[in-house]
Structure 1
Amino acid sequence: MLNIGGAILGIIVLAAFFPEMTAALQTLMTDANIADYTMFETVLGWTPVLLWGGALGVVGFLIVKEVKASRGSAGHSGRRLR
């Protein structure tokens, strides 16, 4: 249950900081000196998508792992390996 709670807490933290992060990225993209580097602008444009995709992937992994662990321990709680 701890993994699911941690995953949900991680999404809440990411959602809370997302507006500030996008504002900072927009500031970097509009800076005259940085705007000359085209690849840097591309990386900054994809950063929010990568963060959300990574966070959702981690949440999905943790939830699946927790569900498998809870099913496995419930089914084999009284059995011993010999």
Structure 2
Amino acid sequence: MKWGDIAELHPSRFVLVEAIKASSNNRMRNLEDMAVIQDYGDPQEAWSGYKQFHKLYPSRELYVFHTSRTDVEVVEEFFSGVRQRT
């Protein structure tokens, strides 16, 4: 689903989405196709949902956005260090 369709279907909401098709260019992530996992009215609930879903499925590419945004831009940040599983 494209971002415009998501924003139209979930007005004024926080959405937890999974990137289905994405590409990178100049450290920017282009989300071409997304699936809505859940929508929320509260940002804290959205981040709790993100953390819970990410813990179950760490390899999935997940994001939280508010649908008031006209488009979604994601700047890639590369992590170099040691991660500890909890």
Q: Which has the higher contact order (CA 8 A, sep 6+)?
A: 1
TM-score, shorter chain, exceeding 0.5 = no
The structure with the largest helix share of the pair is 1
Instruction: State the structure with more CA Rg.
Output: 1
* Bucket of the pairwise TM-score, normalised by the shorter protein: under 0.3
TM-score after normalising by structure 2:
0.20
Greater percentage in strand: 2
